[in-house]
Structure 1
């Protein structure tokens, strides 16, 4: 399989201590930072860290390269995306392993990211070949056309949890539709969230400057958001940072696409099979240590089946192995870093202090937190009110469908919800009332097929921000063109 030191696609001799700017790996002014493997504490390498000046220079190069890229034929742009997908597929095993190591995930999680990234590139390759507008009704002798045109330079700010997917899902369609992109990945996952994309698109033949990749902190992010040469920002991350970006973008009259968080609800009705429901709830709550924006944060269960579900979840929590995800011997890996672990541990402990019962877990070794079950969770507890972003199944009981809906809709909206019941009509009636952007019947909440609009209301962001039919709307704007047969006479 190889190791990060021998991966052909991400040769550390290229990227160590550098950022990707103008088609080259350059030393930034912002300094260096270790890239640490969460499971072992080993250093995988050093990333370059961009400051505001680095970001400004990179934006300038992207701005200069964008017009020629937009003028490139649709088939040529599509070909670059198809080649990028092939590079991902050809380097599948190596990339999956490095993603698992860098993000603290299990190897199947890394494999999922690479597979989905290739799918996203293949889907994006079809965008340039679609109709680019409409012919509008108009007066005789005039052609009236509304066409879609690229924004120019799109800034993409991506997170640490699924860094390849959550970066490329904006990068690929934005590039396909004729934009240049400046990508700022999280400095904790610059390989998965940046180096892979830089090298994949460089090898696929993307012209220099059209994709810039600069890991950085808030200084670099703010420089990207406020630069007048960047008319659109696509951000995935926390509601707190999303609010800040939304404020800055609004002040500078930019389009902004925000995919944030919020508590997601998995509702288990009394006629559900408790074994299957427990399996779904465990996956939704604990996959990738709960560090997923769609994680099943609240498990709302009818009181008549609550004890049966609790017992099954506790049994799973007590037997699931936790450790180094890249070893292939565990179900849960570590949280990304100490800060994330301390925050999550505080959510668990504060909820217990407020009256929740700890039925399993609640402890950790290093960054590896045991899958945790809390029962008796209710509104006012942190495990109910906040997005934990850690491996906890928070059990909340209800007596009626109306109460389940009311509990699920406590808060400011969210990304995903699910209802488990063999009574499809009843489950769908509940689902239609949930304040979530994505609703799944007889499933858990962690779902994305790349062809679907992805997002949620309220604290979930600003609607279906990315994916599927939303991509053309997001990464292009309307331009109206009229053509008259001859110049008319005017009464002035």
Structure 2
């Protein structure tokens, strides 16, 4: 049942978009049309931002307990509607059941962490060098937050901004990716509505980027634009936001490495690599993009890794045994095929052949890969695993840092001290020793360096991102000014 999911949600009302253009919601596995809806126009966007602005001050002054109760109720509703949400993730984003379960779990942790934020809006009392003066620093909500949700982990990555923004007294306008209108947008609004969110606290605008994308960022009302997506689009958003003196929270692309040293536990490394590469078909910003293996253990690792990958079932994501589901659309399939073919021309060797069936690419492994091949230097965002060989750890670090991304990474070694030393040298916002790069904990600093984004999500970092500080001083006794001495 589609319910209101094919509509805009503005100021507590479900409405058809006023654009003459439409959006089609397509199941990426069988390419069936789920629904077609009217797209949002500039008029709808303005109404959503105005609704958010009208209620923001009232919401900011709402008691901390009421904000916390709202988020607690949201979490409870997600538990009650778990199967419905999972089914939407499967049919709309091509999620397998394993991935959908994981996505709900991390989203719930974000909500529960955010529920503590109303009581963590701490100010300060500070000393002054001026006689009789007392300084106060107040922490306040930023105002209205514009959030652009992605299609790969749509429910979690939209909620990752929505929950903390609302918890800290902001109101939001959420623009979901066109491929995942429901799970990145209207489903979230429906849950908050059921939880009792006041009208205007959350608004969802589904529209074409070509029609409302620039206006979403340039509109005078939002104080912060939160975006998760490609570096190319993120760079465009940052440029526009900068021109309008808006703050951004940008989590962008990644080209993440997993380094396997000579002394690593190869069995553990192979399992780690298989999960970190093929979870959600590799369509995760943190997914392994390049597997770097010491030449002395290369062949042994490759043999173990191949055996692990051959056990991963690809097919219909609605089948609970499926591990590898479809890519989000055919343009992604064509892009990846092109990079694989060009890399093979440049000398890469096929260990497991890239079988393609519609939007489904079966798990693929390439060896003899170098950093300048398309399958290594481009963000893959698909189920292809390139394996590169290195002689020394210094060479591995050079290969890791050679490309402009810096989101996540991993190192496998039996020497934990050495693992931390190598992690420190990788130019990345996050690195995990004896694990894989796909990690997201609600209380930790999540974000990247270089072309992988600006700012941090999670815990106190996102709390600070969505709040601002105001200095108020109080002069308790008459001040003597040098003009009148």
TM-score of the two chains, using structure 2 as the length reference: 0.96
Contact 1:267 1:300 in 2 (8 A): yes
Match of 1:39 among 21, 29, 32: 29
* 1:143 equivalent among 127, 130, 134: 134
- Residue 48 of structure 2: which of 58, 66, 74 is its match? 58
Q: Deviations over 1:11-69 (max 9, x none)?
A: x23233x1111111111112432211111222222344212222112111111111111
* Structure 2, gaps ≥5 residues long: none
1:352 aligns to what SS in structure 2? helix
Match of 1:245 in 2: 237
1:25 aligns with 2:14: yes
Work out whether residues 148 and 158 of structure 2, in 8 Å CA contact, stay in contact via their aligned partners in 1. yes
Q: Which residue among 260, 278, 290 is the counterpart of 2:270? A: 278
User: Distance in 1 between the 2:94 and 2:286 partners?
Assistant: 18
* Mapped partners of 2:335, 2:358: distance in 1: 14
Q: Contact 2:259–2:396 at 8 Å: present in 1 too?
A: yes
- Out of 131, 156, 161, the position equivalent to 2:152 is 161
Counterpart selection for 2:173 from 153, 173, 182: 182
Q: Residues 210 and 444 (structure 1 numbering): CA distance in 2 closer, same or farther, change over 3 Å?
A: same
Partners in 1 of 2:146 and 2:246 — Cα distance?
11
Greater CA drift, 114-123 or 382-391: 114-123
Kindly provide the CA deviation profile for residues 334-370 of structure 1, in whole angstroms up to 9, marking residues without a partner as x.
0000111111111111111111111113121011101
The residue number in structure 2 matching 1:9 is: none
- Distance in 2 (CA, whole Å) between partners of 1:43 and 1:468 is 38
Where 2:40 maps in the other structure, the secondary structure is coil
Q: Distance in 2 between matches of 1:451 and 1:484?
A: 39
Partner of 1:435: 427
SS across alignment from 2:227: strand
SS at match of 1:265: strand
Q: Is residue 302–residue 397 contact of structure 1 (8 Å, CA) maintained in 2?
A: yes
Q: CA deviation at 1:449?
A: 1.2
Instruction: Give unpaired runs (5+ residues) of structure 1.
Output: 6-11
Does residue 401 in structure 1 map to residue 390 in structure 2? no
Given candidates 290, 309, 320, the residue that maps to 1:317 is 309
In structure 1, the residue matched to 2:72 is 82
Show the counterpart of 2:285: 293
**Aligned mates of 2:463, 2:125 — CA distance in 1:** 17
Change (3 A) 1:235 1:58: same
Alignment of 1:412-431 (within 5 A): 412-431=404-423
Structure 2 counterparts to residues 472-483 of structure 1, below 5 A: 472-483=463-474
**Structure 1 contact 318–361 (Cα < 8 Å) conserved:** no
Cα distance, 1:451 vs. partner?
Answer: 1.1
CA–CA distance in structure 1, aligned partners of residues 414 and 425 of structure 2: 18
The Cα of 1:131 is off from its aligned counterpart by 4.2
Matched, 1:210 2:198: no
The 8 Å contact of residues 62 and 212 in structure 1, kept in 2 or not, is answered as yes
Task: Give the Cα separation in 1 of the matches to 2:308 and 2:338.
Answer: 23
The offset of 1:487, in angstroms, is 5.6
| Matching of residue 232 in structure 1 with residue 221 in structure 2 | no
Q: Deviations over 1:391-423 (max 9, x none)?
A: 111100001111111111111231111111111
- Paired residues of 1:246 and 1:256 also in contact (CA < 8 A): yes
**Superposed displacement of residue 152, structure 1:** 0.8
Residue-by-residue CA offset, 1:366-394 (whole Å, 9 max, x unaligned): 11101110101112101111111001111
Q: CA shift at 1:91, angstroms?
A: 1.1
Taking the aligned partners of 1:388 and 1:34, their CA distance within structure 2 comes to: 26
Listed one character per residue, the Cα deviations across residues 291-339 of structure 1 (whole Å, up to 9, x for unaligned) are 0000011100001111112222333333422111112131100000011
DSSP 3-state at the match of 1:471 = helix
Equivalence for 2:190: 199
Give the Cα–Cα distance (whole angstroms) in 2 for the partners of residues 177 and 262 of structure 1: 29
Match of 1:411 among 395, 400, 403: 403
Please state how far the C-alpha of 1:486 moved relative to its aligned partner: 5.0
The CA distance in 2 between the partners of 1:402 and 1:238, in whole Å, is 29
Which of 86, 93, 97 does residue 96 from structure 1 map onto? 86
Distance (whole Å) between structure 2 residues aligned to residue 168 and residue 215 of structure 1:
16
Aligned-CA RMSD value: 1.5
CA distance in 1, matches of 2:340, 2:152: 20
Would you say 1:462 and 2:451 are equivalent positions?
Answer: no
